[in-house]
């Protein structure tokens, strides 16, 4: 028997999360090993953001167990990067791309600098190069496309060298080619950096390749397992209704929940 123990990025046991007296989400039990990616799926109001915020340590009204690398979420902030669902910048303040990235490190250190320290500029450039945007570092952030903005936010999340990345709807409001672009950066984060990730999405298809685990929730945990187990049609239908479908094309799984359109390679129709 191997004595090697796998490090757990997240452990949840019968987690119930509250805003008022009734749970917004309950019955959540899962393990995520270090380096693995969990895709979190569920309709509007299912509790996806609620679960991410709780894991990030921003919401502490819960019962049950939630541990991030063995510690309570509020004690794990140093190794978590959380990218919220809607990131808004005051666009009257004309921040450049590199300044937006550097903010990730400045916020974490809790120091407001007048001038960004050289060391943070270097780290920011490295992170921008990782997401393939080093050439536009001096451009105004507000002029970027949706896909580019999302990649900048990923660079910003990476500069604090997190062990767990929590990404709330990183593909929403993007067109199919931008979704593929962001999905390929996420794939690179997983392969090259080995960071554990939890990603919420309405469109699971561009992310299926990187998902080790899929969790389906709708105010309670409906399913958790490897994609082939969790994305079974009878399970999907309980959440998304009788029109939902799961199909396999050339050994690839596609999930049609009615929330999105699917785009098969070569423009084929499912």
Ligand X SMILES: Nc1ncnc2c1ncn2[C@@H]1O[C@H](COP(=O)(O)OP(=O)(O)OP(=O)(O)O)[C@@H](O)[C@H]1O
Q: Hey, what are 245's tokens?
A: 């479908």
Q: How many CA atoms lie within 13 A of 75 on its CB side?
A: 7
Q: Does 48 bind ligand X (CB under 6 A)?
A: yes
Residue 160 and residue 195 in contact, taking contact as beta carbons nearer than 8 Å: no
Candidates 37, 49, 76, 148; binder of Mg ion (CB under 5 A) is 49
Q: For the purposes of burial, counting CB atoms within 10 Å of the CB of 125, is it exposed (0-12), middle (13-18) or buried (19 or more)?
A: middle
Of 132, 235, 146, 118, the residue nearest 186 (C-alpha) = 132
Candidates 12, 26, 36, 47; binder of ligand X (CB under 6 A) is 47
Q: Does 54 bind ligand X (CB under 6 A)?
A: no
Q: Count residues binding ligand X (CB under 6 A).
A: 11
E strand residue ranges, 69-155: 80-83
Q: Using only C-alpha atoms, what is the Rg of the chain?
A: 19
- Residue 59 interacts, among ligand X, Mg ion, none and using kind-specific CB cut-offs from 5 to 8 Å, with none
Q: Does 50 bind Mg ion (CB under 5 A)?
A: no
Largest Cα–Cα separation, the chain = 60
- Contact segment (CB under 5 A) with Mg ion among 6-14, 48-56, 63-71, 134-142 equals 48-56
Q: How far is the CB of 202 from ligand X (least distance, A)?
A: 7
Residues numbered 67 to 96 that lie near ligand X (CB under 6 A) are: 85
Q: Helix 97-109 and helix 118-130: axis angle, to 10°?
A: 120
First and final CA of the chain: distance in angstroms?
45
Residues numbered 20 to 39 that lie near ligand X (CB under 6 A) are: 24
- Residue 44 interacts, among ligand X, Mg ion, none and using kind-specific CB cut-offs from 5 to 8 Å, with ligand X
Q: How far is the CB of 201 from ligand X (least distance, A)?
A: 9
Residues numbered 2 to 21 that lie near ligand X (CB under 6 A) are: 19
Contacting residues for 226 by C-beta, under 8 A, at least 6 apart: 212, 213, 214
Candidates 12, 32, 42, 124; binder of ligand X (CB under 6 A) is 42
Residue 164 and residue 71 in contact, taking contact as beta carbons nearer than 8 Å: no
Q: Does 37 bind Mg ion (CB under 5 A)?
A: no
**Closer of 127 and 197 to ligand X (Cβ):** 197
Helix (H) or strand (E) holding 252: strand 252-256
Candidates 15, 28, 32, 46; binder of ligand X (CB under 6 A) is 46
Binding residues (CB under 6 A) for ligand X: these are 19, 24, 42, 44-50, 85
> Which residues bind to Mg ion, rule: CB under 5 A?
48-49, 85
């Amino acid at each position: 028997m191997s004595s090697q123990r796998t490090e757990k990025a997240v452990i949840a046991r019968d987690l119930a999360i509250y805003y008022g007296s009734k749970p917004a989400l309950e019955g959540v039990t899962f393990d995520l090993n270090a380096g693995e990616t969990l895709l979190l799926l569920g309709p509007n109001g299912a509790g996806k953001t609620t679960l991410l915020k709780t894991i990030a340590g921003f919401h502490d009204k819960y019962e049950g167990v939630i541990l991030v690398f063995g510690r309570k979420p509020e004690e794990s902030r140093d190794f978590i990067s959380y990218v919220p669902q809607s990131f808004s910048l005051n666009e009257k303040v004309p921040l450049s791309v590199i300044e937006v990235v550097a903010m990730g490190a400045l916020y974490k250190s809790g120091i407001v600098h007048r001038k960004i320290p050289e060391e943070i500029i270097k780290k920011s450039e490295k992170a921008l190069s990782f997401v393939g945007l080093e050439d536009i570092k001096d451009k105004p952030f507000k002029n970027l496309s949706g896909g580019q903005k999302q990649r900048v936010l990923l660079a910003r999340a990476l500069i604090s060298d997190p062990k767990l990345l929590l990404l709330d709807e990183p593909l929403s409001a993007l067109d199919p080619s931008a979704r593929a672009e962001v999905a390929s950066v996420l794939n690179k984060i997983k392969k090259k950096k080995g960071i554990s990730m939890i990603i919420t999405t309405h469109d699971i298809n561009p992310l299926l390749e990187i998902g080790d685990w899929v969790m389906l929730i709708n105010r309670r945990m409906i399913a958790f397992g490897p994609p082939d187990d969790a994305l079974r049609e009878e399970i999907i239908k309980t959440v998304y209704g009788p029109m939902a479908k799961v199909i396999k094309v050339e050994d690839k799984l596609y999930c049609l929940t009615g929330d999105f359109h699917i785009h098969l390679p070569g423009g084929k129709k499912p």
